Amino acid sequence: MAADARLDLEVLYRVSVAVHRVVRDARSSPHRGDVVAMGAFGAPTEELDRLAEGEILRALDAEGVDWDLLSEEIGHVVRGGDRTLVVDPIDGSYNALRNLPYFTVSLALGRRDLAGIEIGLVRDLQHGTTWWATRGGGAFRDGRPIRTRAWDPKTETVFVSLGRNASERAVRLAGQARRVRSLGSASQEVLMVAQGSAEAYLFDNNSEARNLRATDISAAYRILLEAGGGVSDARGNALETFPLGLERRTSVLAWGDASFRKSLEEHL
């Protein structure tokens, strides 16, 4: 790993630890689920999200980095840098508020689009497990290399986002797969594919307005690619040029083995 990338990764790690500390302390507050504002594109911002986002900004100032910030809650913050830190302060906010142990902070550093993401780091805010990757440097979980797994139809497991807004494609995959799981945290579910715990992850809703933003997937995108997997939208279109912004949303299909991806094309 290049020295500059290592230094940037160390900053992201310290930011994630700071967020973990704040969220851990705040989860006992009776106001953690209060809606305190509306996000950059009209979604409600809860107190827990606001605290995590504020801690990220404070940590960046303390680190002395000039990266711009793109966050699901506050939107785009210009801080004078030529790179952007793409953030989901709490991916899985509903889980956190319901005391379900699947929520993360997602941090990705890069330029312009998903292909431009140089570093991705995701920290599990319940257990402290941390995944990261740098472009060309491999993918890691708590310092140990991770890789996707070879597809075995006898043991396949897929993560699918279901519910009343799920597309027919998502429902079909859930009905055909040998085992199905759902966590409610997109970054963590993509990482289950990256570390070989699952073959694929599909998020595909009937309305594009209910699909995922760059803030949801940027960090996990880089980690999965470095672990040997791939990502497209649900129709098989590449996402490399998907912009680092909040205006657009996309369905997401993440896979670990290209042969499994080919099988999905034939059946979905």
Q: Kindly report, as residue ranges, where domains of CATH 3.30.540.10 are found in the chain.
A: 3-145
Q: Strand pairing partners for 105?
A: 123
Q: Tell me which architecture the domain covering 3-145 has in CATH.
A: 2-Layer Sandwich (3.30)
CA-based nearest residue to 19, from 68, 84, 73: 73
Q: What are phi and psi of 230, to 5 degrees?
A: -145, 165
Element (H, E) at 216: helix 214-226
Are the beta carbons of 47 and 26 closer than 8 angstroms?
yes
Are the beta carbons of 205 and 165 closer than 8 angstroms?
yes
**What distance in Å separates the CA atoms of residue 28 and residue 266, rounded to the nearest whole number?**
48
Q: What is the pTM of this model?
A: 0.92
For residue 127, the model assigns a pLDDT of 95
**What per-residue string of b and e applies to 154-177 under the rule 16 or more CB within 10 Å gives b?**
eebbbbbbeeeebbebbeebbeeb
**What per-residue string of b and e applies to 228-262 under the rule 16 or more CB within 10 Å gives b?**
bbbbbbbeeeebeebebbbeebbbbbbbbbeebbe
In a 3-state reduction of DSSP, which class is residue 77?
Answer: strand
Higher pLDDT, 209 or 34: 209
For residue 26, the model assigns a pLDDT of 84
CB atoms within 10 A of CB 79: 14
Residue 41 pLDDT greater than 50, yes or no = no
DSSP notation for 195-210: TTS-SEEEE-BSSGGG
For residue 73, the model assigns a pLDDT of 80
Residue 135 contacts by C-beta under 8 Å, 6 or more apart in sequence?
Answer: 5, 117, 118, 119, 222, 226
Q: Kindly report, as residue ranges, where domains of CATH 3.40.190.80 are found in the chain.
A: 157-267
Residue 40 pLDDT greater than 80, yes or no = no
For residue 42, the model assigns a pLDDT of 39
Per-residue pLDDT tens over the stretch 188-198: 999 999 999 99
Residue 236 pLDDT greater than 60, yes or no = yes
Residue 136 is encoded by which pair of tokens? Answer: 């060309």
157-267 topology per CATH = D-Maltodextrin-Binding Protein; domain 2 (3.40.190)
Average pLDDT of the segment spanning 136-146:
97
